[in-house]
Amino acid sequence: MVQAARELLAVRSPLDAELMVSDMIGAWWGRRVRGGDVEQVLGEGLVDYAAKAGTPASLTLLICLAYLGTARQGAKAEGAALAMMESGVARPGWADRVGAVKPTGCYVSRDAYGDQDTVICTFAYRYGDGGPGRGDAPAAVPGGQERHALVMVVDHNMSGMARDAWVSSQVDKLLEEARAEAAGNPMLVFGEIEPQQARALLESAMKATSEPKTPPPVSDSYSAYHAFARARLKALPPGRKRPAPLHIEAPYSRERRAMLAAEFLASDAAEHLSDPSAASRCADHIIEYGCEQDFSRPLRVSPTKCETFLLDWLPRKVMLSTAEQEAMPHVLAAWVRFAARRSGLPEQGLKATLDAVWEAIGKFPEAYRDPTSFGLDRPLLERLLPDGDLSALARRAFAFPFLQGFHNGIELDRLNPADEADRRALLEIDHVGAMDEEHLAWHEEIATRLWEGDPPQLWEAAQRLLDLGHDRHDVLHVLIEIAERIGGDPDELAAALDDIADIPDEF
């Protein structure tokens, strides 16, 4: 990378240099390395290596990293750059203006469904802003103020994550095309927003993109612009922290959710539903999804949101009765009609959403696999899933494998793994023979964490070891050893669990 930085000496503007370095350090964005954080191992490692090189190219790279890097990388890069400049290392004239930008406007193009926001933030360079070597620019600057636009796409069906980013130097043409597209499409809205709103939305979106442990579904170019976007957003004024989207509603209390469900069931849209009891429970699940997974927007409906709810979230998260399985597609279609009227969705959007629901109905029986079809009886499922969280079934069955039959005169079917006293009894049955209290307490700690899914890395690590063919008890003992060694630091525990690839030989 330090060798590649020689190309920075040939560019003519700070914008080109920033984009080049952003692309360079985007090579490790979202990657994992064993034994540490990738930004620390590679990012800070690059800063240290560039500082030792002591060349004009490495200085230019450090100046860009001081602006584009993480807080730790930036501080180290700035210190190293200042030291090199004091020693007389040369740098390009434009290097004084890296990151010296001011915002000139923020805009959003939003579809009528509320699925997606395309946010456009425009900037121009300014002079005399301080920083490593920054001062007054030369009188003749190629490209003038170099206006440019950062464009980011926020997907509200994917937890509000940023899924795409790019930069355009043709600002006027970009804005003109966005206005023209919205003017000719009733399903699009385009307008200017406050810079504070844009910063809050995009910072939240970038955070959502970086949170998943598995690679997020972003565009191929997102990593190349990630560092540039992160740095540019800091040029926008901070303001009221609105997580996303810009049109978020206030959180729904339990009473407000119940009232909304009652209004729906009493509406004309729901009058054809034949099983009021099942319809009520289905409505509760729809409202829960909108509140918990869609930023408190249960009345927002779209083709993508309905398909995701019916074919992805429900099969993974909710245990439905037979009556609810039969009723759910029809309740969802009725909810779409009810919500569209309440939210003002155009008729074109209502029709497209209903078409998507009816198409998904044919796939629902295959997508939703009733756990009882696996040979598990419903009373057992209800003991393992008192909260109805279907995604917890495998890890809870792993934590408590003995829940049926008799052991030493004890009827296991009567023991409740959600109850602390019964949980202890089940673990004692799972460990026949002498076992000291401390070790049993650690088994109880791990079982409780698996039951609650806290942290999620615990079950992920267990699955990796099970997939390698390791015995269940050996896997539990590895998890216990890590939890005992790390102690109470949740971040360190999650990192240590992420690093598990196999069981060490000593086990």
Residue 247 domain-assigned? Answer: no
Residues in CB range of 363: below 8 A, 6 or more apart: 311
**Of the candidate ranges 25-29, 208-212, 422-426, the one whose mean pLDDT is the lowest:** 208-212
What is the pLDDT confidence band of residue 429, given thresholds at 50, 70 and 90? confident
Q: Tens digits of per-residue pLDDT, 276-299?
A: 999 999 999 999 999 999 999 999
Are 427 and 401 spatial neighbours (Cβ–Cβ below 8 Å)?
A: no
Domain span at residue 343 reads: 254-369
| Beta bridge partner(s), residue 162 | 154
Q: Tens digits of per-residue pLDDT, 365-418?
A: 889 988 777 777 888 999 999 998 999 999 999 999 989 888 888 899 999 999
pLDDT value of position 139: 35
Residue 241 domain-assigned? Answer: no
Residue 315 domain-assigned? Answer: yes
pLDDT value of position 323: 95
Q: Are residues 414 and 347 in the same domain?
A: no
| Beta bridge partner(s), residue 406 | 411
d(CA 263, CA 295) in angstroms, rounded, equals: 21
Domain end residue (candidates: 309, 335, 369): 369
Residue 490 domain-assigned? Answer: yes
pLDDT value of position 221: 94
| Beta bridge partner(s), residue 229 | none
Give Cα 220 distance to the centre of its chain.
17
d(CA 118, CA 178) in angstroms, rounded, equals: 10
Residue 15 domain-assigned? Answer: yes
Q: Where on the phi/psi map is residue 389: left (φ > 0), alpha (ψ -120 to 50), or beta?
A: beta
Residue 88 domain-assigned? Answer: yes
Residue 388, token pair as written in the block: 């109805």
Q: Are residues 273 and 342 in the same domain?
A: yes
Q: Are residues 228 and 262 in the same domain?
A: no
C-alpha dist (Å) from residue 15 to 18, 40, 74, 87, 144: 5, 25, 18, 26, 12
Are 328 and 364 spatial neighbours (Cβ–Cβ below 8 Å)?
A: yes
On the question of pLDDT at 474 being above 60, the answer is yes
**Of the candidate ranges 14-28, 220-234, 303-317, 362-376, the one whose mean pLDDT is the lowest:** 362-376
Q: Tens digits of per-residue pLDDT, 114-135?
A: 999 999 999 999 865 444 444 4
Q: Are residues 27 and 53 in the same domain?
A: yes
Q: Are residues 467 and 430 in the same domain?
A: yes
d(CA 489, CA 480) in angstroms, rounded, equals: 15
b/e sequence 125-134, b meaning 16+ C-beta within 10 Å: beeeeebbbb
What is the pLDDT confidence band of residue 20, given thresholds at 50, 70 and 90? very high
Q: Are residues 119 and 81 in the same domain?
A: no
Residue 383 domain-assigned? Answer: no
**Of the candidate ranges 33-37, 338-342, 483-487, the one whose mean pLDDT is the lowest:** 33-37
Q: Are residues 491 and 451 in the same domain?
A: yes
Q: Are residues 201 and 324 in the same domain?
A: no
**Of the candidate ranges 143-147, 182-186, 226-230, the one whose mean pLDDT is the lowest:** 143-147
What is the pLDDT confidence band of residue 247, given thresholds at 50, 70 and 90? low
Number of domains observed in the structure of the chain: 4
- Indicate the pTM of the whole model: 0.81
Q: Are residues 332 and 274 in the same domain?
A: yes
pLDDT value of position 491: 86
Report the percent of the chain where pLDDT is more than 70: 92
C-alpha dist (Å) from residue 383 to 39, 315, 386: 43, 19, 6
**Average pLDDT of every residue of the chain:** 90
Q: Tens digits of per-residue pLDDT, 38-92?
A: 899 999 999 999 999 999 999 999 999 999 999 999 999 999 999 999 999 999 9
Three-state DSSP class for residue 412: helix
Q: Indicate the DSSP class of residue 371.
A: G
Q: Are residues 54 and 170 in the same domain?
A: no
Residue 243 domain-assigned? Answer: no
Extended strands (E) in 199-341: none
Are 349 and 337 spatial neighbours (Cβ–Cβ below 8 Å)?
A: no
Q: Are residues 305 and 398 in the same domain?
A: no
Q: Are residues 436 and 474 in the same domain?
A: yes
